[in-house]
């Protein structure tokens, strides 16, 4: 084991001990946590600040730059998020309900992640990337009871003690098509260099579907921006992901002037919301196509995206589950009704617009047919939007204030299913007084020093899991984020 690996694992072990102490006493020593996070990454050489994901390269020059082509790069991030919630109205609860602490829930939910982003050039136009990652997390109510979950870093269940795995390992090949040259900034999973403005890009390997699709400048990364799933992404987008949030597949991108077209096939889990993927991508897979159009209004930049997606996998159909239960006079169950070759589909519209150089707005609308169990969240239709304000207005240019909302709904088939006292993998109160789930989130991200950020976050969720008889629930969060 190298000195770096020893130091890194040793420091993570010290941090894990401190986290377990907090989990036992439900008290947060935030300065100590922040010190541990800083130490956990100090052995990594400094680099340009990096986000965890980078789907569209950041163009920092519309003309080529000489002698500014990276042959390799190292970036890193570490993020700790802690959340609390109030005791809320709960006249009853079921197998998959959000619970109060008095009903058996934990008092605090948390996540801790650390990722290293390695990249290198292979030959002309070819790059390879590898991202080892560590994750630890403890969700409220065993990840149940909400359509829009409150922490986009949370995986689909508990991960204590921490797990170590490969988050991404992929190769990218670019073919230039002319149109002049531009320079791309070096960030995580993107080497700096000059590329043709018009080009074809192919990526193959392991990554996240959201690395490429459903991007938005103002709301896409829970490590730095909004935390709620239904705000950081299109809530009804049923994208491919294993229980770590990653998939395997191939992506094609065509950059042409102000347009970008993306198409991909990703591997789906062989059973919903499990770790094993169908690497053949012939039985369980997801297809998606997205078109992006860049524009300016006045001198302010904006983008509009249109997404279509399809899921073909081993899943349960809600109506089939209801029909099967009627024959046996039992409560419907998706586990008894799963079949191969089930299909679901949907679409999403996604817009962003800068109003000034310091203020931007965004909105998303997404829908899926909602006839089968979910592969991501229990959301069949979702409308979200918000505003992001850069702190330059009050002389804090690295700070950010955000305010957003989301309104989520589910299909008539799923409503009927839940009203029969049934549960999905994520929601089920034993009864349902249906009403759309309503979410408000606001945060303030404070830049402490260079790549060090502290964030306070608040979320209010009315009608949790679409049940007007329960809630509302207030969530309070703190986040520490480092990037190198």
> Residue 58 — pLDDT band, cuts 50, 70, 90?
confident
Q: What is the per-residue pLDDT for 332?
A: 96
High-pLDDT (> 90) share of the chain, %: 80
Residue 149 Cα distances to 13, 43, 196, 231, 460, angstroms: 28, 34, 40, 10, 11
Of the listed ranges 64-73, 280-289, 308-317, 370-379, the one predicted with least confidence: 64-73
Average pLDDT (286-297) is 97
Is residue 25 scored above 70 in pLDDT? no
Q: What is the per-residue pLDDT for 391?
A: 96
Q: What angle do CA 373, 379, 383 make, to 5 degrees?
A: 155
> Residue 68 — pLDDT band, cuts 50, 70, 90?
confident
Average pLDDT (102-107) is 94
Is residue 170 scored above 60 in pLDDT? yes
Of the listed ranges 21-35, 58-72, 326-340, 455-469, the one predicted with least confidence: 21-35
> Residue 285 — pLDDT band, cuts 50, 70, 90?
very high
pLDDT tens profile 313-341: 999 999 999 999 999 999 999 999 999 99
pLDDT tens profile 345-392: 999 999 999 999 999 999 999 999 999 998 889 999 999 999 999 999
Q: What is the per-residue pLDDT for 184?
A: 87
Query: How far apart are alpha carbons 284 and 339 in whole angstroms?
Result: 11
Q: What is the per-residue pLDDT for 55?
A: 52
The mean predicted confidence, pLDDT, of the chain is 89
Q: Higher confidence at residue 352 or residue 25?
A: 352
Contact partners, residue 150, CB within 8 Å, separation at least 6: 83, 109, 140, 227, 228, 229, 459, 461, 475, 477
Is residue 23 scored above 60 in pLDDT? no
Query: How far apart are alpha carbons 453 and 79 in whole angstroms?
Result: 9
Average pLDDT (402-406) is 98
Of the listed ranges 21-35, 433-447, 448-462, the one predicted with least confidence: 21-35
Check: CB of residue 81 under 8 Å from CB of residue 464. Answer: no
Q: What is the per-residue pLDDT for 59?
A: 74
Of the listed ranges 24-38, 409-423, 443-457, the one predicted with least confidence: 24-38
Q: What is the per-residue pLDDT for 157?
A: 67
> Which neighbouring-strand residues pair with 113?
79, 135
Q: Which of 370, 366, 361 is nearest to 382 (CA)?
A: 366
Is residue 30 scored above 60 in pLDDT? no
pLDDT tens profile 447-466: 999 899 999 999 999 999 99
Q: What is the per-residue pLDDT for 22?
A: 39
Q: What is the per-residue pLDDT for 54?
A: 44
- Please state the domain extents for the chain: 74-104+134-164+213-249+256-483
Check: CB of residue 128 under 8 Å from CB of residue 171. Answer: yes
Q: Higher confidence at residue 184 or residue 269?
A: 269
Helix and strand counts by DSSP (H, E) for the chain? 5, 19
Is residue 303 scored above 50 in pLDDT? yes
> Which neighbouring-strand residues pair with 479?
81, 455
SS3 category, 234 = coil
Check: CB of residue 447 under 8 Å from CB of residue 53. Answer: no
Q: What is the per-residue pLDDT for 1?
A: 44
Check: CB of residue 469 under 8 Å from CB of residue 448. Answer: no
Check: CB of residue 222 under 8 Å from CB of residue 86. Answer: no
């Amino acid at each position: 084991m190298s000195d770096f690996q020893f130091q890194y694992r040793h420091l993570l072990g010290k941090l894990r001990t401190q986290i377990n102490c907090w989990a036992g006493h439900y008290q947060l020593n935030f300065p100590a946590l922040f010190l541990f996070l800083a130490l956990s990454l100090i052995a990594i050489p400094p680099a340009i600040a990096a986000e965890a994901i980078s789907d569209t390269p950041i163009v920092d020059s519309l003309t080529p730059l000489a002698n500014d082509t990276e042959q390799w790069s190292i970036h890193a991030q570490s993020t700790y998020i802690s959340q609390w919630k109030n005791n809320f109205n709960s006249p009853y609860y079921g197998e998959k309900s959000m619970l109060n602490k008095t009903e058996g829930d934990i008092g605090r939910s948390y996540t801790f992640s650390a990722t290293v982003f390695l990249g290198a050039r292979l030959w002309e136009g070819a790059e390879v990337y590898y991202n080892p990652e560590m994750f630890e997390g403890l969700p409220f109510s065993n990840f149940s009871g909400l359509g829009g979950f409150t922490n986009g870093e949370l995986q689909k269940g508990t991960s204590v003690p921490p797990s170590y795995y490969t988050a991404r390992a992929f190769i990218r090949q670019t073919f230039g098509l002319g149109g002049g040259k531009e320079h791309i900034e070096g960030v995580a999973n993107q080497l700096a260099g000059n590329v043709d403005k018009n080009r074809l890009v192919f990526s193959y390997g392991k990554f996240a579907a959201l690395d490429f699709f459903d991007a938005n400048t103002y709301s896409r990364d829970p490590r730095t921006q909004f935390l709620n799933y239904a705000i950081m992404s299109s809530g009804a987008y049923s994208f491919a992901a294993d229980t770590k949030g990653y998939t395997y597949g191939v992506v094609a991108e065509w950059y042409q002037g102000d347009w970008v077209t993306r198409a991909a096939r990703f591997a789906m889990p062989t059973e919903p919301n499990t770790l094993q993927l169908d690497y053949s991508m012939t039985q369980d897979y997801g297809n998606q196509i997205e078109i992006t159009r860049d524009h300016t209004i006045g001198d302010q930049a904006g983008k509009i995206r249109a997404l279509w997606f399809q899921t073909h996998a081993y899943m349960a159909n809600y109506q089939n589950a209801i029909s099967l239960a009627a024959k046996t006079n039992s409560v419907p169950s998706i586990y008894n009704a799963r079949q191969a070759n089930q299909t679901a589909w949907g679409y999403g519209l996604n817009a962003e617009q800068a109003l000034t150089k310091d203020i931007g707005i965004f909105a998303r609308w997404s829908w899926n047919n909602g006839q089968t169990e979910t592969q991501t969240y229990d959301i069949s239709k979702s409308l979200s939007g918000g505003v992001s304000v850069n702190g330059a207005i009050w002389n804090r240019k690295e700070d950010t204030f955000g305010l957003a909302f989301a309104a989520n709904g589910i299909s008539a088939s799923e409503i009927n299913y839940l009203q029969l006292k049934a549960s999905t993998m994520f929601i089920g109160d034993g009864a349902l007084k249906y009403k759309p789930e309503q979410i408000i989130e606001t945060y303030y991200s404070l830049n402490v020093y260079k790549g060090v950020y502290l964030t306070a976050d608040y979320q209010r969720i009315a009608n949790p899991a679409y049940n007007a008889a329960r809630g509302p629930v207030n969530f309070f969060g703190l986040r520490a984020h480092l990037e190198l």
